[in-house]
Structure 1
Amino acid sequence: MTNGFKWPGGRNPDDPPRDFLERLLTDPRILLWGVIFLIAIWLGSGFYVVDPGETGVIRRFGKELAKTSPGLNYHLPWPIDQRNIVNTERIRRIEVGFRSGAGTLDRERKATAESLMLTGDENIVDAQMIVQYKVGDPSKFLFRLRNPEETLHVAAQVALRSIVGQATIDDVLTVGRTRVQAETQLFFQRLMDNYQSGIAITEVKLQVVDPPEQVKDAFHEVVRAREDRERLINQALGYKEDLIPRARGEAQKVLRDAEAYKEERILKSKGDAARFLALYEEYKKATKVTRDRLYLETVNRILPKADKIIVDPAIHTTILPLMPLGLNVLPDSKPAPSSDSQSGIESQLATQPFRQVRR
């Protein structure tokens, strides 16, 4: 007994289920409320949230309609509108030449078919590369590429092989590695732009670039020898850069010394010429006296420590004079006349047959 209790719709708990279903289907009020409830759920399914760093792409009957920004948004429910939410800030990555797998014994398994490639000088290298990218245009990323990850992987191999194939093995392994990375990134980005993929390549990094295992040791010996050669060349260039400026400085010093010596000689020559001209003027005034004085000064300068005896050749012309060479006394100590005239000096010389000059 239910004591008069009834379920919504007038159903008595004791009534059979079949009768209850029939009442639901035949009662218009129940059907109306049911339809309203279903419509509310259907309309409510159009609300969605776009997180920061994401972009929503709305399609209406399969055709792109709009892009939505982060926050609470709404679109007409399925099947009228459909949405795709793409993270445009997350950095994604692909691996070329190896695969990293968590939880495996070999965390980085080489993909030999991808890693072995030929350089421009016909050497084989084993290269492994990581590419980082993000979605720049969600619409192109969703609708232009059927399989974006696979397309990226193949295009990355094409870009790397193209650049390595134009470089020498020295460029790839040593000094040109950074340039190879930059050119690979540019080539890769051009490929993605040509595909209209909506993908922006943020970084290309060569993880490992080595010769094949079979010749790795020999190749490393060659690389070390080349490094030694470069080191010696750099040392020689450093010595050259140190020696050349020093030599130039010494050359400039020699030139300056030569210029100074030149000026000194010129000035001395001018002084000697002026002195000679002045002496010549005096010589013209008293020719014999000046000549005798110059002669005596020259003898005194040449023989500064020797005794000098002056003989007047005008007096002793036929008889060899006997000169007291051992004496240190002048035979005539009379002072010379004060007059500088030629006649006074000649008379003095005439009265003194010889004289000894002390040291």
Structure 2
Amino acid sequence: MSWKNQSGGPWGGGGPRGPWGNGPQSPGPNSPDLEDLIRRGQDKLRGVMPGGFGSAKGVIAIVAVAVVVWLLSGFYRVQPDEQGVVLRFGKFVGTSNPGLNYHLPYPIETVLTPQVTRVNRIDIGTRSGDDPRRGAAVRNVAEESQMLTGDENIVDVDFAVFWMVKPAAPGSTEDVGAANYLFNVQNPEGTIKAVAESAMREVIGRTNIQPILTGARQNIENAVHELMQRTLDSYQSGILVTQVQLQKVDPPQQVIDAFRDVQAARADAERLQNEAQAYANRVVPEARGEAARITQGAEGYKERAIIEARGQAARFLSVLGEYQKAPDVTRQRLYLETMERVFAGMDKVVIDPAASGQSGVVPYLPLGALEPRPTTPAAQGAAR
């Protein structure tokens, strides 16, 4: 027996009630009927597309709208720090520059946009962590930092590697850094870390510890940089290493005091050697100059003595020739010249034994006493 709930059913009543009364009532206005909404939408579409959905025009219109929407989905934007890598059915076909670009819609072509201008950093030998009491904390990783040198010493090396996606080669569709970075390397950071640690161990392994601790930091950084880039290029990784920077190079913590003592002793030895070399550089030229002066003085004395001896010999030979011509006259002249030299600077008294009177003293006029004598300050003071 059919009945309608609007009349109350077998339990009577004038409203929508069940066997236990009115039942729960929803507050507020009644929700619209779904069938009514669908019916209204169909009426509006019939007004737009005469003939309804089943007609040819309606199907064509729906297909045209779907095609337009599908074609418009091919527009995409590449940010300034990104590069678009276009794939056609999964195969790399080209790149796109930053800005608004277009590719064939999915599933024909897809685009990946890796960041190619950002410089990334990887620390090897240390780890950064957050300490709730001290803030940022750095933890040393000994299995990464401890390395064996060429002279069989252990050194603790912490360094950082800065890298970015390698720029694409101009006009090349094969050597594209972004594509190689996406498809040839599964874990870029892990690969870079492994290559960096291997390159650093190789360079440290062929270098003695003393240059490592003192002045070979720049050479080590350049060698590791070149070795890393060569290795990554052989993998076609699309990664460009921009810098390798040594953070800390020390002996192990257990022997660092002894190494510092040895380093201080070597510094003192080098300082003393430099001071000795400076003293030698100052004394040796002075000694050489003094030796040159003495040598030149001896050479001058030698030349002067030889010339004087030759002059004396020539004079003697000339006198000898004159003596051989007139012995008496030459003998008398030599005697007079000798007496002149002997008595030139002394007071003289002439005594003639044959003279009569005045005890044989011959008076003479001392012409030298009449000449004015040079006055000196000492003589003037004595006169006063």
Structure 2 counterpart of 1:248, which letter?
Answer: R
1:56-92 deviation digits (Å, cap 9, x = unpaired)? 2211111111122333322112221122223333222
Show the 5 A alignment for 1:332-347: none
Q: Which residue in the other structure is 1:124 paired with? A: 154
| Structure 2 residue 96 is matched with structure 1 residue 68 | yes
Q: Which residue in the other structure is 1:329 paired with? A: 361
Q: Which residue in the other structure is 1:186 paired with? A: 226
Q: Which residue in the other structure is 1:352 paired with? A: none
C-alpha separation in 1, matches of 2:145 and 2:283 = 48
| Structure 2 residue 281 is matched with structure 1 residue 251 | no
Q: Which runs of 5+ in 1 are unaligned?
A: 1-12, 311-320, 332-359
Match of 1:85 among 95, 113, 122: 113
Cα pair distance change 1:305/1:82, threshold 3 Å:
same
Match of 1:111 among 133, 137, 141: 141
Whether the aligned pair in 1 keeps the contact of 2:350 and 2:362 (CA below 8 Å) is no
C-alpha separation in 1, matches of 2:260 and 2:212 = 14
| Structure 2 residue 235 is matched with structure 1 residue 195 | yes
1:14-59 deviation digits (Å, cap 9, x = unpaired)? 9624546777783555554444333333322322333445432211
TM-score by length of 1: 0.73
> Which sits farther off after the overlay, 257-266 or 87-96?
257-266
Secondary structure of the residue aligned to 2:249 is strand
C-alpha separation in 2, matches of 1:89 and 1:256 = 75
Structure 1 counterpart of 2:330, which letter?
Answer: T
Structure 1 counterpart of 2:144, which letter?
Answer: E
Whether the aligned pair in 1 keeps the contact of 2:148 and 2:205 (CA below 8 Å) is yes
Cα pair distance change 1:270/1:55, threshold 3 Å:
farther
Structure 1 counterpart of 2:325, which letter?
Answer: K
C-alpha separation in 2, matches of 1:45 and 1:247 = 92
Q: How many residues align?
A: 311
Cα pair distance change 1:127/1:15, threshold 3 Å:
closer
Shift, 1:130, TM fit = 0.7
Secondary structure of the residue aligned to 1:86 is coil
Q: Which residue in the other structure is 1:16 paired with? A: 36
Secondary structure of the residue aligned to 1:218 is helix
Q: Which residue in the other structure is 2:330 paired with? A: 290
Q: Which residue in the other structure is 1:272 paired with? A: 312
Shift, 1:94, TM fit = 1.0
Match of 1:145 among 168, 172, 185: 185
> Which sits farther off after the overlay, 73-82 or 154-163?
73-82
Shift, 1:217, TM fit = 1.8
Whether the aligned pair in 1 keeps the contact of 2:349 and 2:361 (CA below 8 Å) is no
Shift, 1:173, TM fit = 0.9
1:131-172 deviation digits (Å, cap 9, x = unpaired)? 112222222222221111110001000011111111111111
Secondary structure of the residue aligned to 2:226 is helix
TM-score by length of 2: 0.69
Cα pair distance change 1:301/1:73, threshold 3 Å:
same
| Structure 2 residue 202 is matched with structure 1 residue 162 | yes
Structure 2 counterpart of 1:189, which letter?
Answer: Q
| Structure 2 residue 260 is matched with structure 1 residue 220 | yes
Q: Which runs of 5+ in 2 are unaligned?
A: 1-32, 46-51, 167-176, 364-384
> Which sits farther off after the overlay, 139-148 or 285-294?
285-294
CA RMSD of aligned residues (A): 3.7
Q: Which residue in the other structure is 2:274 paired with? A: 234
> Which sits farther off after the overlay, 199-208 or 53-62?
53-62
Secondary structure of the residue aligned to 1:126 is strand
Show the 5 A alignment for 1:300-339: 329=361
C-alpha separation in 1, matches of 2:282 and 2:70 = 85
Shift, 1:99, TM fit = 2.0
C-alpha separation in 2, matches of 1:203 and 1:306 = 101
Shift, 1:127, TM fit = 0.9
Q: Which residue in the other structure is 2:48 paired with? A: none
C-alpha separation in 2, matches of 1:226 and 1:270 = 64
Shift, 1:101, TM fit = 4.0
